[in-house]
Amino acid sequence: MHGLYFLELQKYAQTRHGSTAWKALFEEAGFPERRYLAFNTYPDEEAKALVEAAARRAGTSAPLLLEDFGAFMIPRWFGAGVTHAKPTWRTLESLLKRSRAIGAAACQTHPATELPDVRISRIAEDRVLIEYDSPRRLCALLKGMARGIAAHYRERVSVTERRCMHEGAAKCEVEVAQLAG
């Protein structure tokens, strides 16, 4: 897992649960606290254990925590320029353009990064379909990020998972529809 996600998870835990939450997550996950660097990669198992510990601490499920975490990251990414968005884009355009830009940036910063297969296509004027395939199965994070992008633009969307790898599908399909006003 890319180190940037660990750093964002640390900020998320501290924002949602206080300054000592990050250290507590390591204790609950059962491994020593470590410092993550943004452009290194780390074992997926560490990310999974930290997310599961955070979900237990928050009294929620890991998928719901990942959705909230995905939405949490987006304002920071827009502010830091990670997303490479043009001022004229809105939610759906941002989603359509973003998958390639983020993937390319991650490959440039760390060529060993295993990227998910994400394909985004417009299926109607007011909706896009996101096809997601990754052994990490972080479709909940993707749904949260879509919601976070809509919040950034102060737009309303519905995010519906049509198919999910957690339910036996070969890949996840998430529909994001623009809602009026």
Q: How far apart are CA 110 and CA 106, in angstroms?
A: 6
Chain-centroid distance of CA 6 in Å reads: 11
> Sign of the CA dihedral 56, 2, 173, 123?
positive
- What is the mean predicted confidence (pLDDT) over 91-103? 69
Average pLDDT along the chain: 86
pLDDT score at 175? 97
Segments making up each domain of the chain, as ranges = 3-59, 66-178
Question: What's this model's pTM, rounded to 2 decimal places?
Answer: 0.85
Using DSSP's 3-state secondary structure scheme, residue 117 falls into strand
Q: How confident is the model at residue 93 (pLDDT cuts 50, 70, 90)?
A: confident
- What is the mean predicted confidence (pLDDT) over 41-54? 94
Say which CATH class 66-178 falls into: alpha beta
pLDDT score at 108? 44
